[in-house]
Amino acid sequence: MYTITTYTQLNALLKIYGNKKRCSLKVASFPCNQFGHQEPPKDEELLNTLQYVRPGNGYVPDKNMDMYSKVMVNGEEEIPLFSWLKKLCPRPTDIISNKTVVLWKPIKTTDIEWNFEKFLIDHEGNPVRRFSERSPPFGWKEHIKELIDDCDESSQEKYKEEFSDENDYN
């Protein structure tokens, strides 16, 4: 259920917000097999699985969606990126895990509950929000637009500062 909705809505959002210059939406996708073994393909099979199986129907990730190798996002083997993201962004729900099988140890209150939990990161690399797997990407349009507007504004201010510095030397 989450696979089709998440991937197709992310592609649609990338078509809207991903074709700008500096202040563009980008997606970094990190497959994980820690949730009910739902991501069993090998890394080299992931794109074909997306195209022909889940979501299927010839799906191809947008050019602004970077697909990475499978990683661990919880437990002793979680990669540092997810340790950092989880430390900086509070859980989107009070549930640690509502699944019957947890495939990692130790279980922590910051753990990602299920595949398709998402993090929104600003143009300076700061995590600003964490969304549960139940939160469809179309529901974040306001947040995405706000971050892009902030980035545009920041870029304009930086340009004005640089331009005024040049005038100081003339």
Tens-digit pLDDT profile for residues 42-52: 999 999 999 99
Q: What percent of the chain clears pLDDT 70, i.e. is strictly above it?
A: 94
> How many other β-carbons are positioned within 10 Å of the β-carbon of residue 68?
13
- Report all structural domains of the chain as residue ranges with CATH numbers, in order of start: 2-168 (3.40.30.10)
d(CA 153, CA 160): 11
Question: Which tokens belong to 159?
Answer: 């340009």
pTM (predicted TM-score):
0.86
Reference 67, options 139, 11, 19, 113; nearest CA is 11
d(CA 39, CA 28): 16
Is the CA virtual torsion 30, 91, 22, 10 positive or negative?
positive
Q: 164 or 73: whose pLDDT is higher? A: 73
Please say whether the beta carbons of 10 and 65 come within 8 A: yes
DSSP assignment of 123-139: TTS-EEEEE-TTS-GGG
d(CA 35, CA 48): 20
pLDDT digits (tens, 9 = 90+) for 117-165: 999 999 999 999 999 999 999 999 999 999 999 999 988 887 677 776 5
Who contacts 65 (Cβ-Cβ below 8 Å, separation ≥6)?
10, 11, 14, 26, 27, 28, 29
